[in-house]
Amino acid sequence: MDKYVMRLPATERALPPPASGSRPTRVELFAGAGGMAVGLEAAGFEHVALIERDRNCVHTLRQNGFGKCVKLKDAPRCVGTNVSLRAVCCARRPTCHLCACRFRAPASMRQPTLRACLGHADVPIPRAEDGTLEVWDLFCCGGGFSTGAKRAGCTVVYACDAWPDALETYKRNHPQTHTECLELPAPIPFPTDGRPFHVHGSPPCQRFTVMGKRYNTESGVETATNLLKWFLDTAVTCGATSWSMEQVSSAETRAIVEAVRKRHPTRVASATIDFYELGVPQHRKRLICGSPALVAHLLRACSAERRRSIRDAIAKPRGTMVRNSDSWTRARLRHDRRPGQSKYAYTKATADDKLHPLSGPAPTILTNGDVRWWWRDRDGESKISVMSARELALLQTFPRNYKLPDSTKLAHKLVGNAVPPLVAELLLRADGPRPVGRG
């Protein structure tokens, strides 16, 4: 340190002696407006000198109570006595900040974390003591992914969502998991001790769906895009052993994922998968992103042998067919159409249109829950009845004893937004999924 010598002007050679007391002392070079000085003063340090060449910064420092500030002029043009920083700082105390002496601030002097500064409580997150993989579920909604992760033998230690009603349902089904009602993006207390953990996220997808685009606004699309980018950047840089994301497969989402993959080619892979090929008894195409090994494992799990029908999921169906909520039917007019000619003709759907047999998959479960049983009565008239939230949950591969909200509308919304637990189980379970029995 003795070689770092400052030549100070003759009018400001006399530096103040080290402050009395037991607190460590410090000298700061290029102090600027005093940001570091304020922080270290709050941490328990005493300032011997704050050295800065800018007149405005010096004035700001003195206006805020740092009267021991020393203005440093342009060094090559200065004349005066050489002042050793070691002599200034360490003449009377060995606990020197500049000399890197062994000083550890006591707990009472330590600064709050970034989460605490932003108003989020620092709560210790429980860890898996049995050696199982820890799972951190962001945008957890009603707990679909967490349910599958537990079936795969993992321990879900943390879950967060900005929807209080969804989080209440999550707590009822996963009481051992630390939950947090959190508006993302926000600081997440990921492990920093090197232990393995998996991060999953399902950012809101409504802005990227075909129906959602009808109600899009510029600010809404920007918010959804930024949230998706935030999660992808967080997943690949938070230190997780592996990560995954479920999202609507659209041109916008695929472009965002591809941009991240180009920056992190060894950490990002993606594929559009129909969950029917994984054993979910419905057609549900989604974009799955994550660690390349996990995405490849899920693609290998796709098989016609895994396909399950409506009857496999619901043992006692209340109809002979299933109908979705589409109000229009379309028929292809021509294959060799010219520019400007219509490709499809649309007609109003009747009760006998859009029917799905019980021996095949159900239509995609949406948040409106409008999937209906269909049958004919003794007079030959068509009858329909809306599926219950429990029946929809079975089509989403939730267990029969999963606790749903009392509100039918809320239950439909939670089930429609959920990641099918079977998909999460297949993703995280190395030795294959446990068999899913009949409803």
% of the chain residues with pLDDT over 70: 76
152 pLDDT band, cuts 50/70/90, is very high
| pLDDT the model gives residue 294 | 92
Q: Is residue 24 part of a domain?
A: yes
Measured distance CA(358)–CA(381) in Å, rounded: 19
Same domain, 286 and 319: no
Measured distance CA(374)–CA(357) in Å, rounded: 10
- Can you spell out the DSSP letters for 398-413? --TT----S-HHHHHH
| pLDDT the model gives residue 222 | 86
Q: Is residue 12 part of a domain?
A: yes
Taking residues 227-241, report their average pLDDT. Answer: 92
Same domain, 236 and 256: yes
**Rounded CA Rg of the chain:** 31
Q: Is residue 139 part of a domain?
A: yes
- Does the structure show a pLDDT above 60 at 203? yes
Instruction: Say if CB 410 and CB 420 are below 8 A apart.
Output: no
- Can you spell out the DSSP letters for 40-52? HHHTT-EEEEEEE
| pLDDT the model gives residue 300 | 92
Taking residues 25-37, report their average pLDDT. Answer: 83
Same domain, 295 and 320: no
Q: Is residue 116 part of a domain?
A: no
- Does the structure show a pLDDT above 80 at 265? yes
Residue type, 194: G
Same domain, 212 and 233: yes
CB-based contacts of 131, cutoff 8 Å, min separation 6: none
Q: Does 227 or 121 have the greater pLDDT score? A: 227
| pLDDT the model gives residue 131 | 74
The number of distinct structural domains making up the chain is 3
- Does the structure show a pLDDT above 60 at 9? no
| pLDDT the model gives residue 337 | 74
Same domain, 190 and 292: yes
Q: Is residue 117 part of a domain?
A: no
Which of 111, 103, 153 shows the shortest CA–CA distance to 132? 153
Tell me what the pLDDT averaged over the chain comes to: 78
| pLDDT the model gives residue 67 | 67
Same domain, 168 and 182: yes
Instruction: Say if CB 246 and CB 280 are below 8 A apart.
Output: no
Measured distance CA(76)–CA(58) in Å, rounded: 20
Same domain, 211 and 285: yes
Same domain, 173 and 268: yes
pLDDT per position as a tens digit, 293-315? 999 999 999 999 999 999 999 98
Q: Is residue 433 part of a domain?
A: no
Same domain, 107 and 188: no
| pLDDT the model gives residue 199 | 95
| pLDDT the model gives residue 115 | 53
Q: Does 266 or 438 have the greater pLDDT score? A: 266
pLDDT per position as a tens digit, 331-375? 777 677 777 777 777 788 777 788 889 999 999 998 876 889 999
124 pLDDT band, cuts 50/70/90, is low
Same domain, 390 and 356: yes
| pLDDT the model gives residue 102 | 35
Cis before 405 (ω within 30)? no
- Does the structure show a pLDDT above 70 at 80? no
- Residue 119 gets the label, from left (phi > 0), alpha (psi -120 to 50) or beta, of left
Residue 299, phi then psi, degrees to nearest 5: -65, -40
CA angle 200, 203, 204 (to 5 degrees): 150
Which of 222, 206, 225 shows the shortest CA–CA distance to 214? 206
Same domain, 321 and 304: no
- Does the structure show a pLDDT above 50 at 93? no
- Can you spell out the DSSP letters for 326-374? --EEEEE--SSPPTTS-SEEEEE--TTSSEEETTSPBPPP-TT---EEE
| pLDDT the model gives residue 223 | 85
Taking residues 310-339, report their average pLDDT. Answer: 83
Same domain, 136 and 84: no
Q: Does 437 or 53 have the greater pLDDT score? A: 53
27 pLDDT band, cuts 50/70/90, is confident
170: CATH: 3.40.50.150
**Pick from 111, 140, 155: which residue ends a domain?**
111
**Pick from 111, 141, 175: which residue ends a domain?**
111
Q: Is residue 226 part of a domain?
A: yes
Tell me which residue range forms the domain holding 95.
5-111
- Does the structure show a pLDDT above 70 at 57? yes
Q: Is residue 168 part of a domain?
A: yes
| pLDDT the model gives residue 76 | 34
